[in-house]
Chains A and B, each alone.
Chain A
Amino acid sequence: MQTAKRDIAVSMTGISKRFGPVRALENANLEIARGSILGLVGQNGAGKSTIIKVLAGIIKPDSGSIVINGEAVTSLTPASVEKLGVHFIHQDRLLVPTATVGEAVFLGHEIGLGPFVSRRVMERRAADLLKRFFGMELPAGTLVKDLTTAQQKVVQITRALAQKASVLVLDEPTAALVKREVDSLFDVLRRLRDDGIAVVFISHYMQEIEKLCDRVTVMRNGTDVGTVDPRQTPIDEIIAMMIARDVGEMFPKRSVELGAPVLEVSNLRLGGSFENIGFNIRAGEIVGLTGLLGSGAKEIVQCLFGLKTADGGEVKVEGRELSLSTPVKAVRDGIAMLPEDRRAHGVALGLSVRENISLASLRRYSRSGMVSRGAENQAVDGLIKELSIKTPHRDALVRELSGGNQQKVAIAKWLSCQSRVYVLDEPTVAVDVGAKVEIYNLLNRLAGEGAAILLLSSDLLELVGVCDRVLVVYRGRLAGSFSGPAMNSDALLAASSGARSNIDGVAA
């Protein structure tokens, strides 16, 4: 075995971590070798971020052992990890906006004499480092808040380099960079590798993994399912490793006659997030929408909800053009929305099941301003029964229900308004399997009654199982439209990571 001779910088073995009922990591292993670039891939929720946060000392694992530079470490803290030479470039740019570049690079390791700092020296050193590693010239004393996203990312990496990192972990470092900057970042990482630094590169972009990494560890369902050489392993094979094959009978089958287009979106755009988005959804159709974090898929849905205001484009419901600037208007225009963060937007935890359900449709039960309690109760009880919401009675507080049942209340709220269009954002995240199936049944029933449904999800199996058609967003554009046999999780994942595209199939 060649592995035995490799110079191991970090070795994590048998790491497990649970968050309440959710199993984030289960006996996961990660081995990082000096002088090589390790790719770390997996679907959203596969445990990539969690295992990295364990290494960073941000999350305490329930079990498992970590060895850094030959030394077993028991309790990691962010500070102690840095002392061991392990540095992280987090996805969010952790820089002080009001600091200068020099201050930001050396914060915590200031240069100076005793307690005094020399800003001039720090700024000059930072400028030297930026020039040497990135060929980037910034005026001394530029404030972080005046930098572009890419420049801030570069400053963050420079921070780690200034502190002589021996292990460098980059979480989706290219998400905000342009091509030229990605190339120069890769050059830097290769140079660091040749200097003997261990680099971990987390990315959703398969092309980047193939181009850069010496080895790639694939994670799935909280564990590592294999480590391969990306240059000798076809991308398709790596993608196959990322997707579980055991699809149960979770997805109820159905057959519906599709009607006329109900929701028509054309040329929708939002600066910096997405552009030229157009699609139709017909009556009775369930259309999936997916894309990686930062691809713009989420923002498209938020624009339909009115949580964000699109810069331009057209949205029509049954031929009527909508101005989608606020959720109130969206409700009135017949779009029912189910946001991902149900605590923030979906249900009011402090109100009862009844109040939540009838909130969006009070007008239907009101006569001259007064709520008719009898009609309301009848409708609410009907929905509780229909969705099998497990609640002691209709006046129980939503806070006391389980996550899945809270989600069902949120759905019931929209059922009671009898909308024509349903837009759902990750409706089954953190919901148990039984409740998932009930939600799928519900979607089928709504479609059967002639509603048009848009389902944003990052669960590819769910999309394949539930949808008639799936749209994939890649870097702000529709990169593919899949239906029938072409709609399988391999194809979806390939399209969302940019490995393959199917632009011809996009409905205009």
Chain B
Amino acid sequence: MSATVFHAEVGVSDEKQAAAKSARRRFGALVVRLGAIAAFAAIMAYFVIFAPGFTSTFNLINVVEQSAILGVLAYGMTAVIIGGGSNVTEGGIDLSIAANMGLCAAVYATLLSMGYGDFLSVIAAIAVGMAVGALNAVAVVGLGILPLLATLAVLNVAAGMELTLTQNTVVGASSPLLGLLVSGSFLGISALAWALIVFSAIMIVVVHGTSFGLRLYAVGGHPEAARAAGISVPFYVSFTYVLSGFCAAVASILTVSRLSASTPGSGELLLSVLAAALLGTVFSRRFVPTMGGTLLSVLFIGLLANGFQLLNVSSYWVNGVQGALILLVVAITSFARGSEGSR
């Protein structure tokens, strides 16, 4: 029976090791999560104490409004990262999302200025956004190009088309819908803030409450397992890119309303969008991007920019801080996930 004895011995030590390993990993993950939350809290506390007017209702509502555009874009990015997996090099990412928003804004503002009504212009902007998303999907899913490269290429396509359309000028726009978004309010909350609230609610319910969302996580977490469970991986991945394009179009309408125009330079938002989507993972016990985590990160980034303004720190610093945050989050999550790969 010596054979059976080996069986048990090797197995037991393996089990113990695995248990110890997973306990260590859980502890490490907890430390990272609590550390991140503590750092956020410390920064907020600093602003509360030292930034004049930081806690005023007016200021906070202002931050939420400012965050609406970033939030809508970050949800698109988050969906792409969920469905493509959060592997930094091969996973899902949509670098074209901000440029796509710029293109949609240009289409929307140009059509409005040419006299087409809100209805047609909005439809056209959304169609263009989703078409750019579909182009990403074709490149990533159809042609099998790394998302990092594919969406980088599409970024340039979208940016080029925007420049062609606007000749790099500001295209002024006004319409009933834009007027409503700018000055409308309900229950004392402005239309822009409502846009963020409603969009957030929809995203959170769809991604975290439905079987669709569960399968999306499975597709990103372990495509083989998803396939074995009868889930069409290409469909889900393609969907995220098209959704991301849709988010870009919705954000474009919000941005046109805020600036009463389509303006060049929307691409600069990309860094913030990426920071928000990646930062959100530290709020998740599974270290995956979540819609709730993204919302918190969006508000954090908004408050950070706002606090810097109130403290009279140059807004250029915000970019640097965001870049550093991305590096930090990617480094920490890669480290925390490290042991998974070797199993």
Contacts and interface: CB of A to CB of B under 8 A. Distances in A.
B230 A82 contact: yes
A19 interface: no
Contact of A148 (B19, B209, B228, B287): B19
A292 B286 CA distance: 35
A79 interface: yes
Interface in A207-249: 207
B214 A107 contact: yes
A155 to B, nearest CB: 11
B10 interface: yes
Interface in B294-343: 340, 343
Interface residues of B, number: 44
Residue of A107, A115, A148, A477 ringed by the most chain B CB atoms within 10 A: A107
Contact of B226 (A82, A92, A107): A107
Interface string B1-16: 0111011101111110
B217 interface: yes
Contacts of A107: 214-215, 218, 225-226, 229, 231
Interface string A76-99: 001100100000001010111111
Contacts of A115: 210-212
A110 B213 CA distance: 11
Contacts of A374: none
Given A90-B228, A476-B10, A117 B3 contact: no
A154 B222 CA distance: 18
A500 B12 CA distance: 23
B17 interface: yes
A149 B6 contact: no
B224 A94 contact: yes
A79 B230 contact: yes
Contacts of B215: 107-108, 110
> Binding site of B, secondary structure by majority: helix, strand, loop or mixed?
helix
B37 interface: no
B153 interface: no
Nearest to A83: B230
Contacts of A116: 205, 209-211
A97 B19 CA distance: 15
A67 interface: no
A98 B228 contact: no
A178 B224 CA distance: 26
Nearest to B10: A476
Contacts of B3: 207, 474-475, 479, 498, 501
Interface in A125-150: 143, 145-150
A312 B26 CA distance: 28
B25 A98 contact: no
A112 B224 CA distance: 24
A147 B6 contact: no
Interface residues of A, number: 45
B177 interface: no
Interface string A159-195: 0000000000000000011111110000000000000
A133 B82 CA distance: 33
B22 interface: yes
A93 B223 CA distance: 13
B12 A95 contact: no
A369 interface: no
Nearest to B18: A148
A285 interface: no
Contacts of A108: 215, 229-231
Contacts of B226: 96, 107
A78 B230 contact: yes
Nearest to B232: A79
Nearest to A498: B3
A476 B13 CA distance: 12
Contacts of B217: 96, 98-99, 103
Contacts of A97: 221-222, 340
Most chain A C-beta atoms within 10 Å of own C-beta, residue among B11, B12, B22, B218: B11
B221 A99 contact: yes
B247 interface: no
A78 B226 CA distance: 11
Contacts of A148: 14-15, 18-19, 22
A146 B6 CA distance: 25
A275 B6 CA distance: 11
A448 B11 CA distance: 42
Contacts of B19: 148
B122 interface: no
B6 A150 contact: no
A450 B135 CA distance: 63
Given A178-B7, A207-B3, A147 B22 contact: yes
Nearest to B14: A272
Contact of A146 (B13, B14, B22, B213): B22
Contact of B15 (A103, A150, A275, A477): A150
A145 B341 CA distance: 11
A75 to B, nearest CB: 16
Nearest to A182: B7
Contact of A271 (B12, B13, B214): B13
B107 interface: no
Contacts of B210: 112, 115-117
Given A78-B230, A96-B226, A474 B6 contact: yes
Interface in A310-344: none
B17 A272 contact: yes
A96 B6 contact: no
B288 A98 contact: yes
Given A107-B214, A107-B226, A98 B6 contact: no
A147 B18 CA distance: 8
A503 interface: yes
Interface in A46-67: none
B96 to A, nearest CB: 26
A112 B218 CA distance: 17
Interface string B230-249: 11000000000000000000
A147 B231 CA distance: 24
A150 B13 CA distance: 12
Given A147-B22, A179-B7, A501-B3, A110 B211 contact: yes
Contacts of A498: 3
Nearest to A88: B228
A346 B210 CA distance: 48
B227 A78 contact: yes
Contacts of B11: 150, 176-179, 181
Interface centre among B7, B18, B225, B340 (most CB of A within 10 A): B225
B201 to A, nearest CB: 14
Contacts of A177: 11
Contacts of B22: 145-148
24 contacts: A92-B224, A94-B225, A95-B225, A96-B222, A97-B221, A97-B340, A99-B217, A99-B218, A103-B214, A107-B215, A107-B225, A115-B210, A116-B205, A116-B210, A117-B213, A143-B285, A145-B25, A148-B18, A148-B22, A149-B15, A178-B7, A178-B12, A178-B15, A477-B6
Given A96-B226, A148-B14, A501-B3, 15 more contacts: A94-B228, A95-B225, A96-B218, A98-B217, A107-B226, A110-B215, A112-B211, A116-B211, A143-B286, A145-B25, A177-B11, A180-B8, A207-B3, A275-B10, A474-B3
Interface of A: 78-79, 82, 90, 92, 94-99, 103, 107-108, 110, 112, 115-117, 143, 145-150, 176-182, 207, 271-272, 275, 474-477, 479, 498, 501, 503
Nearest first, the 10 closest Cβ-Cβ pairs linking A and B are A178-B11, A108-B229, A110-B211, A96-B221, A498-B3, A79-B230, A148-B18, A146-B22, A94-B225, A179-B8
